[in-house]
A and B are shown apart, each in its own frame.
Chain A
Amino acid sequence: DAMVIQNPRYQVTQFGKPVTLSCSQTLNHNVMYWYQQKSSQAPKLLFHYYDKDFNNEADTPDNFQSRRPNTSFCFLDIRSPGLGDAAMYLCATQTSGTGEQYFGPGTRLTVT
Chain B
Amino acid sequence: EDKVVQSPLSLVVHEGDTVTLNCSYEVTNFRSLLWYKQEKKAPTFLFMLTSSGIEKKSGRLSSILDKKEPFSILNITATQTGDSAVYLCAVPSGAGSYQLTFGKGTKLSVIP
- Contact residues of A with B, CB < 8 Å? 31, 33, 40-43, 45, 48, 50, 55, 57, 90, 94, 96, 98-106
B: residues with CB less than 8 A from A are: 31-34, 36, 41-45, 48, 50, 88, 91-92, 97-100, 102-105, 107
Of listed B42, B45, B91, residue having the most chain A CB within 10 A: B42
When the two chains form their complex, are residues B99 and A48 in contact, meaning their CB atoms are under 8 A apart?
yes
Point out the residue from A42, A99, A104 that lies within 8 Å of B102, measured CB to CB.
A42
* Contacting residues, chain A, for B100 (C-beta < 8 A): 43, 45, 99, 101
Decide: B42 and A90 in contact? CB cutoff 8 A: yes
Tell me whether chain A's interface is mostly helix, strand or loop, or mixed.
loop
Residues of A within 8 A of B88 (CB): 42-43
* Contacting pair B97 A99 (CB below 8 A): no
The 8 closest A-B pairs by CB, nearest first: A99-B32, A42-B102, A103-B42, A99-B92, A106-B42, A42-B104, A105-B42, A103-B43
Question: For A33, what are the chain B residues with a Cβ–Cβ distance below 8 Å?
Answer: 99
Which one, B42, B48, B102, B104, contacts A100 given CB within 8 A? B48
Instruction: Please give 9 more A-B residue pairs, beta carbons under 8 A apart, in addition to A50-B98, A99-B98, A102-B45.
Output: A94-B98, A98-B48, A99-B31, A99-B34, A99-B48, A99-B50, A103-B44, A104-B42, A106-B41
Q: What's the Cα separation between A102 and B34 when bound, in Å?
A: 12
**B103 and A42 contacting across the interface, CB-CB below 8 Å:** yes
CA A94 – CA B102 in complex, angstroms?
Answer: 16
